[in-house]
């Protein structure tokens, strides 16, 4: 359910410094790397590993992490389908702003619905790189770093992705990594390879 637009009498103000100007200053292009997958699949771990590697190369980066965002910007949202949609809509807009600012924005969100991720892709255009962090549900449950699967199985958490709410895997992601068989270094290397092939990195 899309929320109604209530802002009126507003005009977009174009910046004097463009995204291309920022790319020349930074020495690299900007983009949105969208990590999606089940809870416990390793999205945050991989996003931060990629950021660390990019930072060592001198790149401008920032990780937008699901739990962190819900501490502030999206703390008024729950986990109903409607709130999940709004959660991802806001993040898509924020990630786009980071991208326009010349930053390689990395997002680590379950983002379970394909339609919501497609909207985020539309905002970033050709600079959107979707990474499906694939991992068997059984292994995610075995890891269960936050104890959420245990609570979900006990009925203490409603609308939990993979248990009582659906996860729609990407149909055509730019990259699939399987954290059940790959270590974080291997998965990080694959992401960096995509960035090089896409011309994000020099």
pLDDT per residue over 89-122, tens digit each? 999 999 999 999 999 999 999 999 999 999 999 9
In this prediction, residue 5 has a pLDDT band, given cuts at 50, 70 and 90, of: low
Most confident of 4-8, 15-19, 42-46, 66-70: 42-46
CA quadruple 33, 39, 44, 45: dihedral, nearest 10? -120
CA distance 51 to 62: 7
- pLDDT score recorded for residue 78: 84
CATH label, 29-197, candidates 3.40.640.10, 3.30.300.30, 3.40.50.300, 3.60.110.10? 3.40.50.300
Residue 4 has pLDDT above 80, yes or no: no
From the list 27, 8, 11, 30, the residue with the least C-alpha distance to 19 is: 30
In this prediction, residue 31 has a pLDDT band, given cuts at 50, 70 and 90, of: very high
User: 58 versus 144: which is more confidently predicted?
Assistant: 58
Catalytic choice (30, 39, 44, 111): 111
Indicate if 80 belongs to the active site.
no
From the list 24, 104, 29, the residue with the least C-alpha distance to 64 is: 104
- pLDDT score recorded for residue 106: 98
| Structural domain spans, the chain | 29-197
- pLDDT score recorded for residue 99: 97
What are the tens digits of pLDDT across the range 156-180?
998 899 999 999 999 999 999 999 9
């Amino acid at each position: 359910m899309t929320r109604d637009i209530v802002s009126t009498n507003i005009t977009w103000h174009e910046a004097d410094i463009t995204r291309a100007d920022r790319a020349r200053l930074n020495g690299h292009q900007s983009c949105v790397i969208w990590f999606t997958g089940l809870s416990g699949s390793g999205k945050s771990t991989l996003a931060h590993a990629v950021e660390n590697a990019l930072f060592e190369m001198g790149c401008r980066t920032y990780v937008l992490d699901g739990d962190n965002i819900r501490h502030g910007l999206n703390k008024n949202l729950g986990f109903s389908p409607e709130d999940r949609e709004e959660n991802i809509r806001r993040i898509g807009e924020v990630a786009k702003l980071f991208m326009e600012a010349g930053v390689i924005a990395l997002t680590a969100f379950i983002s379970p619905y394909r339609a919501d991720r497609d909207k985020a892709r539309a905002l970033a255009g050709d600079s959107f790189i979707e990474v499906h962090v694939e991992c068997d549900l059984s292994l995610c449950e075995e890891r269960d770093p936050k104890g959420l699967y245990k609570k979900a199985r006990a009925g203490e958490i409603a609308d939990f992705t993979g248990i009582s709410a659906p996860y729609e895997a990407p149909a055509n992601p730019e990259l699939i990594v399987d954290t059940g068989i790959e270590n974080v270094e291997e998965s990080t290397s694959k992401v960096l390879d995509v960035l090089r092939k896409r011309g994000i990195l020099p």
